[in-house]
């Protein structure tokens, strides 16, 4: 056995989606670098065949085994369900959800033990996850529980924009109920801590309001006055360069780093899921990367789902997954 401190764990994702395919494409292109796929050998062999790649799939006895050159290195967690290679492509299946959860848990344990530099997760299907009996709505919440992290936040990033969310996978009505002074201040602290770890000691953080025009002085809602602005002031008192609240319909344009347009801010904090993610995804899902802040290890993922409509039928675009790998290596140092 050997240990490569640069090795990333790539989780298989939903076996019936495009996750296995984008993994093998990233490995074939050379974008993956040192890695181990946490998943099913049968699924990865099927993905390689469907992609038309002449790339052998090697079964590792242990996740830190030496990896043969020019292959897809796969470690199967002991609890992985059987028969995954026979699952119907592009359909919600409880077995696929159970397998995805098994791989996530196994990869998180490797990261917590320091056996990998970080994990990059291929897409899972939330319905399949729920059908398998997993009660976490997505990767972010599941990894938080596995790591015992007190609080985490989702950041979606590309080369032009980085956005961190205060609330994530809950109904909009519930998200508004969850917003308060502590949630906003905690988010700003998590953003600051994460930026320090990736080498940016004083990021310029813009905070988007919740309401149109950031409430317009209370005319369109008072959340900005009641707790968003006070949370920003408290963060500033702690030495965090936080500003706002700004109107959410313009702050993303101001923060965007584009040719000839250096952004005014390094990171935008948004109150709810769609408020923050629509602007980033509009710039191109093939470039977006999801990063979980607040975990004791690096975790990234592509900015798209399982794409059941094309899984096993048409070639999948691996660029977002490759971007997630590059960012994981950057954040892992």
Looking at residue 287, what is its pLDDT? 81
CA 46/CA 85 separation, integer angstroms:
7
Strands 153-157 and 162-165 turn out to be: antiparallel
CA 312/CA 295 separation, integer angstroms:
33
Looking at residue 4, what is its pLDDT? 65
List all residues 6 or more positions away from 157 whose beta carbon is below 8 Å from its beta carbon.
163, 280, 288, 289, 291, 327
pLDDT of residue 254 exceeding 60: yes
Complete domains list, the chain, with CATH: 1-149+295-333 (3.40.718.10), 159-283 (3.40.718.10)
pLDDT of residue 194 exceeding 60: yes
Looking at residue 303, what is its pLDDT? 86
Looking at residue 197, what is its pLDDT? 86
Mean pLDDT of the chain, nearest integer: 94
Q: What is the mean pLDDT of residues 207-230?
A: 96
Looking at residue 2, what is its pLDDT? 47
The model's pLDDT over 156-181, given as tens digits with 9 standing for 90+, comes to: 999 899 999 999 888 999 999 999 99
How many CB atoms lie under 10 A from the CB of residue 225?
Answer: 14
pLDDT of residue 1 exceeding 60: no
* Residues 295 and 237 sit within 8 Å (Cβ to Cβ): no
Q: Which pair of structure tokens corresponds to residue 221?
A: 């809602």
Q: What is the mean pLDDT of residues 266-285?
A: 93
Q: With the C-alpha atoms ordered 167, 171, 176, 182, is the resulting torsion angle positive or negative? A: negative
pLDDT of residue 202 exceeding 50: yes
170: left (phi over 0), alpha (psi -120 to 50) or beta: beta
CA 57/CA 299 separation, integer angstroms:
24
In 3D space, the residue among 255, 145, 158, 174 whose CA is nearest the CA of residue 208 turns out to be 255
pLDDT of residue 285 exceeding 80: no
The model's pLDDT over 108-157, given as tens digits with 9 standing for 90+, comes to: 999 999 999 999 999 999 999 999 999 898 898 899 999 999 999 999 99
* Residues 161 and 255 sit within 8 Å (Cβ to Cβ): yes
- Segment (H or E) for 118: strand 118-121
* Residues 124 and 97 sit within 8 Å (Cβ to Cβ): yes
Q: What is the mean pLDDT of residues 70-75?
A: 96
Looking at residue 199, what is its pLDDT? 86
SS3 of residue 25 by DSSP: helix
pLDDT of residue 332 exceeding 90: no
pLDDT band of residue 193 (cuts 50, 70, 90) is: very high
Looking at residue 3, what is its pLDDT? 53
Question: Phi/psi at 258 (nearest 5 deg)?
Answer: -135, 160
pTM (2 d.p.): 0.90
pLDDT over 70 percentage in the chain: 99
The model's pLDDT over 36-62, given as tens digits with 9 standing for 90+, comes to: 999 999 999 999 999 999 899 999 999
């Amino acid at each position: 056995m050997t240990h490569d401190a640069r090795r990333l764990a790539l989780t298989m994702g939903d076996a019936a989606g495009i996750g296995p395919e984008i993994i093998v494409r990233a490995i074939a292109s050379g974008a993956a670098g040192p890695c181990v796929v946490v998943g099913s050998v049968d699924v990865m062999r099927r993905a390689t065949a469907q992609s038309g790649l002449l790339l052998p799939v090697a079964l590792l006895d242990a996740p830190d085994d030496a990896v043969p050159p020019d292959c897809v290195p796969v470690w199967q967690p002991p609890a992985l369900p059987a028969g995954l290679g026979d699952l119907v492509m592009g359909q919600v299946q409880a077995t696929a959800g159970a397998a995805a959860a098994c791989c996530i848990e196994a990869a998180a344990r490797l990261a917590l033990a320091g056996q990998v530099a970080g994990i990059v997760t291929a897409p899972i299907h939330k319905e399949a996850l729920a059908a398998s009996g997993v009660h976490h709505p997505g990767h972010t919440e599941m990894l938080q529980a596995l790591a015992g992290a007190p609080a985490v936040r989702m950041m979606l990033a590309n080369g032009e924009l980085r956005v961190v969310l205060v609330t994530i996978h809950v109904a909009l009505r519930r998200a508004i109920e969850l917003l308060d002074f502590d949630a906003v201040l905690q988010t700003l602290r998590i953003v600051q801590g994460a930026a320090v770890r990736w080498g940016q000691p004083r990021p310029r953080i813009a905070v988007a309001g919740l309401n149109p025009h950031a409430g317009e002085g209370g005319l369109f809602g008072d959340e900005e006055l009641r707790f968003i602005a006070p949370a920003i002031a408290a963060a500033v008192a702690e030495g965090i360069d936080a500003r706002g609240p700004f109107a959410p319909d313009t702050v993303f344009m101001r923060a965007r780093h584009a040719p000839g347009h250096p952004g005014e801010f390094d990171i935008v904090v948004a109150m709810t899921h769609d408020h923050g993610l629509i602007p980033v995804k509009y710039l191109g899902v093939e470039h977006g990367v999801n990063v979980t802040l607040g975990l004791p290890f690096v975790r990234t993922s592509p900015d798209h789902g399982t794409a059941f409509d094309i899984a096993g039928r048409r070639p999948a675009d691996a660029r977002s997954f490759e971007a997630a790998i590059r960012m994981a290596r950057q954040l892992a140092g």
